[in-house]
Amino acid sequence: MKPLMPFLAAIAMALAQPACADSSEPDFSALAKLVANANAAIDHPTGMAIAVVHDGKVVYQGYFGLADIARGAPVTARTDFYIASATKPFTALDVLLKVQQGNADPAMPMEAMFPGLHFAGIDAGDVTLRDLLVHTSGIDNEPLVWATAFSGLHDPGTLRALVARSGNDADAAHGTFKYTNVGYNIASVWLDARFKRPWQEQLQHDLFDPLGMRQTSAYISQARARGWPMALPYSLASTDPQAPLYLTKSDDTMQAAGGMVSTAPDLARFLIAQLQPPARSRPLLARAIARSHETQASLQAHYLDFVRTGYAWGWYTGQYKGHRMLHHFGGFAGFHAHLSLMPDQDAGLVVLCNEDMLCPRVTSLVADYVYGALLGQTGNEATVEERFAALPGLAAELRRQVRRQRAAILARLWHLTLPREAYAGTYANPLLGTMRIDVDHHGTLAVHWGCLHAIATGYTRDDQVRVELVPNSGNVLAFKVDRGKVVAVRLEDMVFARQVDTATPR
């Protein structure tokens, strides 16, 4: 039975939120109705939290849907969401604060950041700390990304060794912008070693505490220990959209490129500090904030409604509705986060969702409405209403596409050259840990690697299978067969050698 009553209660809570802080601000009650009605029409009661800031204060908050569908737990002002890559403005700002304090230099090359470390694949004397944080490093290091964000199998020694394995990115030379988590991952390894404590604790001390972000953390364990209500991850693309996705974050997979949980009110405090830096009380932080808004790299791109012509320190820059906007979003299995601000209008927006497929489009409509209202755009509300009216049709088409895609994946034939039991076993990489492959008596081939697991399906090439280690994102496992025996398995450019003590097929 669907949790209808808790869902309606959550909508009622959203509609009951105060529309604005004073009568001089726009009335956001129509937005609340649009979001609530769309949520009901789509028939997928996942949650959304909205906070609008203007002139140094929060002028609207709205909370919709459910943080936990099975329990009927509504999203409230106290609900923590994983914000994924919206972490980057925090990490970059913390480094710039250290620059203001005289404890870091953006021009420091990697060879100075990691003394004694041998880099065979890059020119470590050329790539700087700044390059790492503004995505112009020209470095590729997928194993480091997988270890820090997905498998969670790492320690300070293996992370340092993985940094040393960095190579040149074939698609983006040094000095060319290419968005990636690699630079932030490398920078965090340096932060941990340079300041003798984890980057998570540095964010807490340098930013969360000073800004009064009392329900924000870079540690999942801390959030759970304190009993913070947590939004669970869902996806319209899931085989069961009302069941939470299996992949959830742990401390070992919270990384500096995407490793925070927070609430809409806490993130609103962060935006207010961006718009009105605390020059008197915290002058170094204020100068760091001002510097973080300075564009460092040029690009020509867009994401949905948002034009991107530059990248600052953890912020995309560009024009939106004719005004300068800084923004950064976060996407991960089951979550979408939106942080944006218009410095010249002293306005900003936070949107947090626990759904990953349709929510980015809904968030774009929320931004369209909010900034249109704050800018006094005539006729904008009617245009946004039309766009909201199209959402149920988009959701239905998305569901149809997902069904077709999954049917096509399941219809693929297997092309294994040996019996499936021959692929079962333990495979190891000295820097990436152990991958285990089990085959049961039904022939189901299951893959386990740290925090990740998946059931394999057929693929089009010999001795390869498809896996969804990350929900709704496929990867290929390629087995190496030598003289009738499986000797290794490869995921992207990561190779795991088969161990002698292979698992016994079940």
- Residue-wise pLDDT for 388-432, tens only, equals 999 999 999 999 999 999 999 999 999 999 999 999 999 999 999
CA 8 remoteness from chain centre: 29
- pLDDT mean over 276-281: 95
Tell me: do 244 and 289 sit in the same domain.
Answer: yes
Give whole-number Cα distances, 297 to 258, 274, 364, in Å.
21, 20, 24
- pLDDT mean over 102-125: 97
In a domain, 428, yes or no: yes
Tell me: do 281 and 323 sit in the same domain.
Answer: yes
Tell me: do 204 and 321 sit in the same domain.
Answer: yes
Tell me: do 283 and 237 sit in the same domain.
Answer: yes
pTM for the model stands at 0.93
Q: Quick one: pLDDT at residue 445?
A: 97
Tokens of 62: 């709205």
Residue finishing a domain among 351, 371, 400: 400
Q: Which residue has the higher pLDDT, 55 or 505?
A: 55
Q: Which three-class secondary structure state does DSSP give residue 450?
A: coil
Q: Tokens 């596409």, residue?
A: 401
Tokens of 6: 């808790």
Other Cβ atoms less than 10 A from the Cβ of 96: the count is 25
In a domain, 415, yes or no: no
Tell me: do 460 and 384 sit in the same domain.
Answer: no
Distance CA 236, CA 353 (A): 12
Residue finishing a domain among 400, 433, 463: 400
Other Cβ atoms less than 10 A from the Cβ of 461: the count is 9
Tell me: do 307 and 371 sit in the same domain.
Answer: yes
Distance CA 284, CA 379 (A): 42
The answer to whether residue 21 scores a pLDDT higher than 90 is no
- pLDDT mean over 202-218: 98
Q: Quick one: pLDDT at residue 22?
A: 52
Tell me: do 445 and 337 sit in the same domain.
Answer: no
Tell me: do 449 and 313 sit in the same domain.
Answer: no
Q: Residues 174-206: pLDDT tens digits?
A: 999 999 999 999 999 999 999 999 999 999 999
- pLDDT mean over 52-63: 97
Q: Which residues, 6+ apart, have CB-to-CB distance to 20 below 8 Å?
A: 26, 27, 28, 59, 60
Q: Quick one: pLDDT at residue 44?
A: 86
- How many domains are contained in the chain? 2
Tell me: do 455 and 372 sit in the same domain.
Answer: no
Tokens of 473: 């994102």
E runs forming strands in 343-461: 347-353, 425-429, 433-439, 445-449, 452-455, 457-458
In a domain, 59, yes or no: yes
Q: Are 110 and 396 in contact (CB under 8 A)?
A: no
Q: Quick one: pLDDT at residue 15?
A: 40
In a domain, 87, yes or no: yes
Mean pLDDT across the chain: 93
Distance CA 245, CA 471 (A): 7
Please give the full DSSP string across 206-259, using - where no structure is assigned: IIITTTT-TT-BS-HHHHHHTT--BPPPB-TTSSSTTS--S----GGG-BTTB-
Q: Which three-class secondary structure state does DSSP give residue 67?
A: strand
Question: What pLDDT band is residue 23 in, cutting at 50, 70 and 90?
Answer: low
Distance CA 188, CA 202 (A): 10
Distance CA 223, CA 444 (A): 36
* 204: DSSP letter: I
In a domain, 122, yes or no: no
Tokens of 211: 């800004």
* 440: DSSP letter: -
Tell me: do 205 and 283 sit in the same domain.
Answer: yes
In a domain, 505, yes or no: no
> What CATH number should be reported for the domain holding residue 33?
3.40.710.10
Q: Quick one: pLDDT at residue 238?
A: 92
In a domain, 111, yes or no: no
Q: Which three-class secondary structure state does DSSP give residue 116?
A: coil
Tell me: do 318 and 204 sit in the same domain.
Answer: yes
Alpha carbons within 13 angstroms on the beta-carbon side of residue 445 total: 22
Residue finishing a domain among 339, 369, 400: 400
In a domain, 26, yes or no: yes
Tell me the residue range of the domain where 431 lies: 420-498
Tell me: do 213 and 310 sit in the same domain.
Answer: yes
- pLDDT mean over 289-307: 97
